[in-house]
Each structure stands twice: as structure tokens, then as C-alpha cells.
């Protein structure tokens, strides 16, 4: 828990905002000084990393505030957005995870030129390499004739090795706009 989280209690949060676990939105109960934050409006803004943040003495991640609001205590660890949508703060879309579990449920990195999670660019010798990370180790899955075959190998390995990766949904295993 950070120092700013030490200062904000569930009671104070509930005085300032209402939270709807069905929509994941926070609504202001009171006017905030100045032109920002009128009572009855959706609280917060989307930051440069794609998360909704809400100012209450400091910027707080809305998904962590949702946990505090409902459970009365700050989450003990990281929260994962199950559907990988960083702005979807519905309670049913949030789960308490370790850092390793959180890393399992993420889209492919932006610098991945293949567009498929677990697939590396074609080698100069031909073929599409695939790898996966599990238990803090990179595991070589082989080289495949097509990027789709390499991605299928990644998905099969993820189904075995990643307990928090929704590989059953192939759309989520790729980088989808959120």
C-alpha cells in the first residue's frame, strides 16, 4: 500500500463518491473546488497509460478505489482487469492477483511486429519462432511455418502454464484496442 492509500479510507471515499459495481463508474456526491468535478458527474479521467484515475488528495487508480469502496480495505496485491480493458472497473472484471499472474493476462507488447502474442518476427533462416514466459523463465516453443501456427503453439502452452490467461478467447490473446 502506498502512502497516499494510507490516507484515504473507505468511509471518506464513500462520502465523496458513489460506485456502481455494475458499470464500474464512480459518480461525484459533492462538488470539487473549481471548474472540475461537479456533483453528479463521472469522476476521474483516463491517464496516459489508459487507466481511469480519480483525484482525492492525490491521483488514485479507479480499479483500486472500487476494491476499497466494496471491500472496505485496499487490495493486498495487484488487481487484474480480466477482460484486459483498463477502463472497465466493474467489480466482476477485477480480481486480486500476484504480479506473475497479472503478467499472464496482458496483450502482446506494442513493439511486437507480428501482431500475435508469443510470436517473434520471422528469422532469416525462415520460420516463425514462438516462446512463452512461465515461472520467471522464457520457454522456447519452437519455430513454425506460419505466424498463426506459432501463435497456436503459444495459446496451447498458455492454456497449460498460465492459470490467469483467458486463452479460450482468441481475441483476448491478441492486442485488441481497449
Taking only the tens place, the pLDDT of each residue in 67-98 is 999 999 999 989 999 888 999 999 999 999 88
Q: What pLDDT, on a 0 to 100 scale, did the predictor assign at position 169?
A: 38
Cross-strand pairs, 18: 27
Q: Do the domain assignments include residue 176?
A: no
Mean pLDDT of 22-28: 96
Classify residue 14: in a domain, yes or no. yes
Calculate the dihedral angle through the C-alpha atoms of 178, 54, 104, 163, rounding to the nearest 10 degrees.
Answer: -110
Look up the CATH number of the domain holding residue 114: 3.30.730.10
CA distance 66 to 68: 5
Kindly state whether residues 74 and 131 are assigned to the same domain.
no
How large is the average pLDDT for residues 44-72?
96
Torsion angle of C-alpha atoms 90, 95, 98, 103, degrees rounded to 10: -60
Average pLDDT over all residues of the chain: 83
Q: Is the pLDDT of residue 55 over 60?
A: yes
Q: Is residue 42 part of a domain?
A: yes
Residue 96 and residue 80: Cα distance in Å, rounded?
6
84 and 9 in a common domain:
yes
Is residue 125 one of the residues assigned to a domain?
yes
pLDDT band at residue 164 using 50, 70 and 90 as cut-offs: low
Number of domains in the chain: 2
In this structure, the answer to whether residues 81 and 149 fall within a common structural domain is: no
Q: How confident is the model at residue 166 (pLDDT cuts 50, 70, 90)?
A: low
DSSP β-ladder status, 78-81 and 17-20: unpaired
Per-residue pLDDT, 6: 72
Residue 17 falls inside a structural domain: yes
Q: What mean pLDDT is predicted for residues 9-24?
A: 96
How confident is the model at residue 112, as a pLDDT?
64
pLDDT of residue 99: 79
The answer to whether residues 8 and 86 belong to one domain is yes
As a dihedral over the C-alpha atoms of residue 159, residue 165, residue 171, residue 175, rounded to 10 degrees, the angle is -120
What is the number of alpha carbons within 13 Å of residue 123 lying toward its C-beta? 11
Asked, for residue 39, whether it belongs to a domain, the answer is: yes
Q: Which of 70, 97, 124 is the last residue of a domain?
A: 97
Does the residue 169 lie in any domain?
no
Residue 148's domain spans which residues? 107-161
12 and 81 assigned to the same domain:
yes
Please check whether residue 12 lies inside any domain of the structure.
Answer: yes
Percent pLDDT > 90 in the chain is 42
106 pLDDT band, cuts 50/70/90, is: low
pLDDT at 19 over 90: yes
- Model pTM score: 0.69
Phi, psi of 65 (to 5 degrees): -65, -40
Amino acid at each position: 500500500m502506498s502512502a497516499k492509500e494510507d490516507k484515504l479510507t473507505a468511509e471518506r471515499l464513500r462520502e465523496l463518491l458513489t460506485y456502481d459495481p455494475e458499470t464500474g463508474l464512480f459518480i461525484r456526491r459533492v462538488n470539487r473546488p473549481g471548474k472540475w468535478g461537479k456533483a453528479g458527474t463521472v469522476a476521474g479521467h483516463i491517464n496516459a497509460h489508459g487507466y481511469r484515475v480519480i483525484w482525492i488528495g492525490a491521483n488514485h487508480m479507479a480499479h483500486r478505489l472500487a476494491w476499497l469502496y466494496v471491500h472496505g480495505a485496499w487490495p493486498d496485491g495487484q488487481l487484474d482487469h480480466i477482460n484486459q480493458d483498463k477502463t472497465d472497473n466493474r467489480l466482476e472484471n477485477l480480481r486480486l492477483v500476484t504480479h506473475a499472474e497479472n503478467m499472464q493476462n496482458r496483450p502482446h507488447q506494442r513493439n511486437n511486429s507480428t501482431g500475435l502474442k508469443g510470436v517473434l518476427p520471422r528469422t532469416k533462416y525462415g520460420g516463425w519462432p514462438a516462446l512463452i514466459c512461465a515461472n520467471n523463465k522464457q520457454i522456447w516453443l519452437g519455430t513454425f511455418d506460419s505466424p498463426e501456427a506459432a501463435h497456436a503453439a503459444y495459446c496451447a502452452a498458455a492454456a497449460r502454464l498460465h492459470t490467469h490467461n483467458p486463452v479460450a478467447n482468441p481475441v483476448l490473446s491478441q492486442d485488441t484496442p481497449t
